[in-house]
Amino acid sequence: MNNSSLDRHIYDKIIGPLLDWSKRHKIIKGVIEGLVYLQKGSMLWIVHRDLKPNNILLDDNMEPKISDFGSARTLSSDVAEECTNRVVGTSGYKAPEYASRGIYSLKTDVFSFGILVLVIISGRKNTILHKRGDTVGDLVRDAWHIWKNQRLHELVDPALGSGYEIAEITRCTQVALLCAQEDPADRPTMTDVAAMLNSESMSLPVEPKQPTALSKECAGEDVASADMGQTSRTIDITITSSAPMSTRVRIILDPED
């Protein structure tokens, strides 16, 4: 694909600004079409299990193509669940039930799609704070608080400037949060997602549930994302040398002006 993969466009500071909101919105809808086909349109029920920006390729017209099916599995029906001892995929995109227990279903890719949409909107990565009992990631938690407080402009990738429709951002964010809920039973199907994002007049049926709060234990062992959508972060680092003493350093990363 001449335009490489989606992650290159999102995270590259030079070509990233060229990926305006209309292109990002088009990519979101294109990925939906691909997933609906995998789950409903083909003769099989296919779970990709590693949906992420690296595996979304872009053609000459910036149309997305889902790639890399080396981890994909088929199911016996659209409501079936399977279990594996070999969990594959990428941290930050794996559904909680799959990451912790190896259970996968069509709702596994729905979760990954939700994360993908939040990444496309924000230009951020989703970090899982494992030692604090995190199941969904800092991007999901920040996005939920920002959405709940109706401050969606704080979530939007700065590279987009003001070139976006806040109504489209709001709808896409709410749908993404519905997809990224911890309980697979709470997530919509991809057919439902397509209906919600293709019809602006359609009211969204429910509100996404608030992600589970992080554990306070081992709070200094992971990279901590600030709450309420702020971009400043605190990082605790333990530096150990051959001396019998270790040094603990706290670094505050302030948001850019």
Which residues are part of the catalytic machinery? Answer: 50
Residue with tokens 């919105």: 25
DSSP state of 40: I
Residue type for position 243: A
Calpha distance 113→27 (Å, rounded): 12
| Cα–Cα dist 239/249, whole Å | 8
47/203 Cα distance (integer angstroms): 28
Strand bridging mode 103-104 / 82-83 = antiparallel
Q: What's the CA gap between 211 and 135, in Å, rounded?
A: 8
